[in-house]
Structure 1
Amino acid sequence: MTTKRNPPAQRWKPGQSGNPKGKPPGTLGIASKLRQQIDVKAIIAKLSESAAKGNTRAAELLLDRALPPLRSVAEPVELPGLKDAATLTAKAERIVELAAEGKVSPDIATALLSAIGTLAKATEIDELKRRIEALEAPRVPTE
């Protein structure tokens, strides 16, 4: 049989430091001191000057670090026959047909098919929820 032991008394009171002679607040660490010594504007100016003279590595550094990466932006597309498709399966088939005909790029077709898959999952979840609620609903006896 084990007996419970009382926890040891606290050595420090709340708000009291365990190391009162430790590092004073506001003291800078090594990394902070180095950051203060670096002249960022001068480095960027030098890289810009070097890139302008044809140094591709300097240009690469500037572009990689200073500018956000470029992302492709899809233009709105016309999808003939998609509105007429009654089911999600029919819509997916129409998108595949349009991609095969070259009327929609493969990456846009992939994104649209992924969206249809997500919509199908959401529809399935809604249907399951409706069925569960119907099963759990109290039944009124009929006479």
Structure 2
Amino acid sequence: MTDESQHVQRGRPFKKGQSGNPKGRPKGSRNRTTLIAQAVLDVQAEALVKAAVELALKGNPACLKICLERLLPLKKDAPIDFRLPEMGSSADIPKLFASVRTTLDEGGITPSEARTLIDMTGVFHKLIESVEFEHRLSALEETQNRR
């Protein structure tokens, strides 16, 4: 006495390759557990930080590591106190290398800063080469046009 229209399909009601939830979970939605944990942290954050710092000061290595990694800002690049010499042609690149090396030897810059400056010379060199090439090409074209 079951009618075909009242038949409830069991098992796999969706076609192969078709999701049962095509829109999926909304972007940015958070789990209930995460929301509860965030609410607790919002209330107790200051006390937790103080406790972690106190334990770190008492010598707890895990808390010390957390405090150093999370509470102290990471060292970021600082401006380099170095004046780049003028570079008008490829012949000026050795002057730049010499200037960087002298400043490094005198302790004015660190080895990593020297490396950064030397890497920049590659960019300068390519730029100068392309400008010099353009001048040479223009001169050749002008010579060809005169003939």
TM-score by length of 2: 0.50
CA distance in structure 1 between the aligned counterparts of 2:119 and 2:35, rounded to whole angstroms: 46
CA distance in structure 1 between the aligned counterparts of 2:97 and 2:75, rounded to whole angstroms: 32
Q: Which residue of 1 aligns with 2:31?
A: 29
Q: Contact (CA 8 Å) 2:56, 2:64: kept in 1 or not?
A: yes
Q: CA deviation at 1:111?
A: 2.2
CA distance in structure 1 between the aligned counterparts of 2:55 and 2:78, rounded to whole angstroms: 32
Could you give the per-residue CA deviations for residues 98-124 of structure 1, whole angstroms, max 9, x where no partner exists?
379x33553333222112112122333
Q: CA deviation at 1:130?
A: 6.6
Report which structure shows greater RCO (CA 8 Å, sep ≥6): 2
Q: Contact (CA 8 Å) 1:47, 1:58: kept in 2 or not?
A: yes
TM-score by length of 1: 0.51
Q: Contact (CA 8 Å) 1:48, 1:59: kept in 2 or not?
A: yes
- Residue identity matched to 1:89: I
CA distance in structure 1 between the aligned counterparts of 2:71 and 2:101, rounded to whole angstroms: 42
- Residue identity matched to 1:60: K
Q: CA deviation at 1:63?
A: 2.0
Secondary structure of the equivalent of 1:51?
A: helix
The yes-or-no answer on 1:42 pairing with 2:47 is yes
Q: Contact (CA 8 Å) 1:48, 1:62: kept in 2 or not?
A: yes
CA distance in structure 2 between the aligned counterparts of 1:97 and 1:65, rounded to whole angstroms: 36
RMSD of equivalent CA atoms = 4.5
Could you give the per-residue CA deviations for residues 46-90 of structure 1, whole angstroms, max 9, x where no partner exists?
1012122222321220121122212464662589xx66x972332
Number of corresponding residues: 116
Q: Which residue of 2 aligns with 1:52?
A: 57
Identity within the alignment, %: 21
